[in-house]
Amino acid sequence: MKKTTRILATIFSAAACAMMLALGAPGALAQGSQRVNVVQGDTGQAIAGANIWVCTGMVQPAYTSTPACTPTAAIFSDPMLTQPIAQPLVSDGLGNYSYFGVAGTYTEVITGPMIAGYTSTIVLPCAPSSPTAGCGGSAGNPASPSGAIQFNNIGAFSASILSQDSGATTITDSGNMTVQGAHATVNTGSNGGFNLNVNGTGNFLGLLTTPGGLSANAESPNSAFSAPTKLFFMAAGCNNVTAGNGWQIGTTGAPTPACQGTHTRKGVLQFARGNVAYVEFELPVDWNFGVNVDLKIAFTTTDTTTGHFTAWSVQTGCNSLSGTSTDDPVLNAAQTVSSTIGSTAVSGAEYLTLLTALNTTGCSAGNNFVLAITRNNSGADTNTDTAVAAKWAELTFGRTINSANR
């Protein structure tokens, strides 16, 4: 009986030692990653007493609800994840807050005094020797503030990637990455540089910054820079009381050059119905035919009758500059555009009419481009002014600038 008692005591003692060793083993319990941050207001001031809600995954906030997001995550006050923290977590007198959690992606929603409410997507990394699934027992990169994506309840969105060493921060996308929106800005706020380089088989643009400036390089092979271009054509000029036409006019149906204005003198072409004038220029070799060519015409009129129309008929044509066609192209069908006189119109008021998507059938980059502008005489024009005064025309078209098209 005594022998049996000694054996049992030995067994219990060994078991107790094994349990103590197991509890003391560094990898036996989960090891969490720490999140340390400061709550700041819109002007950067620290906010005390703010409520911090932490939820699992990437979820949408509900700023006026309790909790402000769901599902809430398990967070702890110690790295061994044994002391849970009841949510919401509250920032201290200096706006500080911290917690531990298992490695993964979380959503933080912060509300409180002087805060409209904002949300951050937080990635807690793997802690050293962490047994958490997916960590593989190794340490990840630091969490905040190395990476943070933030959006708030007034519709703004910002992303910050801060490099905390002397190296570079790289975003790699193996597919197609798009930055899209009505207002998209890439801003370099330091004395370093920014280089946007798309290493594909298509076109790319290199953007290089120097302190205080930005340059775009489209001279290297396969590089291109697309941008709209505007050309202005003055209808006429004025030398004291002597006017001369700026647009081409013919022997019949020609508008009359005139000077007008008391405080400022300017030349105009006075159009009666059926009068026509011409503008021509070379379509540049880098003309981007894939985007619209738009036309604006500025003019003045003495007609003040509400609802009257001033109508213009516009025709286009092109011819080659290679010696294979005459300098007298057949014009495309007319496109008509008009402006309406309003109820508050005054005599001599200036108007701007816009025709989008000019007909460029038969035109190619490097062609001579002809534009015929006629005051409509087929019923669309109801303006009683017999001398509508055209001031200028503006053409807007696209260009794809690169080293091949000079």
Q: Do 152 and 266 belong together in one domain?
A: no
pLDDT higher than threshold 70 for residue 171: no
Q: Do 238 and 108 belong together in one domain?
A: no
CATH number, residue 118:
2.60.40.10
Tell me which of 146, 161, 176 is where a domain ends.
Answer: 161
299, two tokens: 């003019």
Q: Per residue in 195-208, pLDDT tens?
A: 444 433 333 444 44
In a domain, 118, yes or no: yes
Tell me which of 129, 161, 193 is where a domain ends.
Answer: 161
- Lowest-pLDDT range of 142-156, 209-223, 272-286, 369-383: 142-156
Q: Do 242 and 387 belong together in one domain?
A: yes
Q: Per residue in 52-103, pLDDT tens?
A: 999 999 899 998 899 999 999 999 999 899 999 999 999 998 999 999 999 8
pLDDT higher than threshold 70 for residue 123: yes
pLDDT at 132 (0 to 100): 64
pLDDT higher than threshold 90 for residue 354: yes
CATH number, residue 390:
2.60.120.260
Q: Do 356 and 253 belong together in one domain?
A: yes
Q: Do 136 and 267 belong together in one domain?
A: no
Q: What is the mean pLDDT of residues 5-21?
A: 40
**Shortest CA distance to 215 belongs to which of 191, 184, 194?**
194
Q: Do 152 and 285 belong together in one domain?
A: no
Q: Do 128 and 239 belong together in one domain?
A: no
In a domain, 101, yes or no: yes
Tell me which of 114, 143, 161 is where a domain ends.
Answer: 161
In a domain, 216, yes or no: no
- Lowest-pLDDT range of 30-34, 150-154, 192-196: 150-154
Q: Per residue in 361-385, pLDDT tens?
A: 999 999 999 999 999 999 999 999 9
- Domain carrying residue 297: 228-401
pLDDT higher than threshold 60 for residue 291: yes
Q: Per residue in 307-326, pLDDT tens?
A: 999 999 999 999 999 999 99
In a domain, 366, yes or no: yes
Q: Do 234 and 373 belong together in one domain?
A: yes
Q: Do 243 and 370 belong together in one domain?
A: yes
In a domain, 221, yes or no: no
pLDDT higher than threshold 60 for residue 150: no
165, two tokens: 């060493």
pLDDT at 42 (0 to 100): 73
Contacts of 229 (CB under 8 A, 6+ apart): 284, 396, 397, 398, 399
pLDDT-derived band at 358 (thresholds 50, 70, 90) equals: very high
Structural domain count of the chain = 2
Question: Half-sphere exposure (CA, 13 Å, Cβ side) for 52?
Answer: 27
In a domain, 128, yes or no: yes
Q: Are the beta carbons of 132 and 102 closer than 8 angstroms?
A: yes
Q: Do 237 and 133 belong together in one domain?
A: no
Distance CA 361, CA 328 (A): 15
pLDDT higher than threshold 70 for residue 129: no
pLDDT higher than threshold 80 for residue 155: no
pLDDT-derived band at 177 (thresholds 50, 70, 90) equals: low
In a domain, 4, yes or no: no
- For residue 60, the tally of other CB atoms under 10 A from its CB is 11
pLDDT at 319 (0 to 100): 96
Distance CA 267, CA 269 (A): 7
Q: Do 154 and 234 belong together in one domain?
A: no
In a domain, 236, yes or no: yes
Distance CA 362, CA 169 (A): 49
pLDDT at 37 (0 to 100): 92
Residue-averaged pLDDT of the chain: 78
pLDDT at 194 (0 to 100): 42
pLDDT higher than threshold 70 for residue 124: yes
pLDDT higher than threshold 60 for residue 47: yes
pLDDT-derived band at 221 (thresholds 50, 70, 90) equals: low
- For residue 43, the tally of other CB atoms under 10 A from its CB is 6
Q: Do 273 and 356 belong together in one domain?
A: yes
pLDDT-derived band at 183 (thresholds 50, 70, 90) equals: very low
pLDDT higher than threshold 90 for residue 134: no
- Lowest-pLDDT range of 149-153, 176-180, 315-319: 149-153
Contacts of 60 (CB under 8 A, 6+ apart): 69
Q: Rounded to whole angstroms, what are the CA distances from 309 to 133, 142, 368, 375, 379?
A: 74, 67, 32, 11, 10
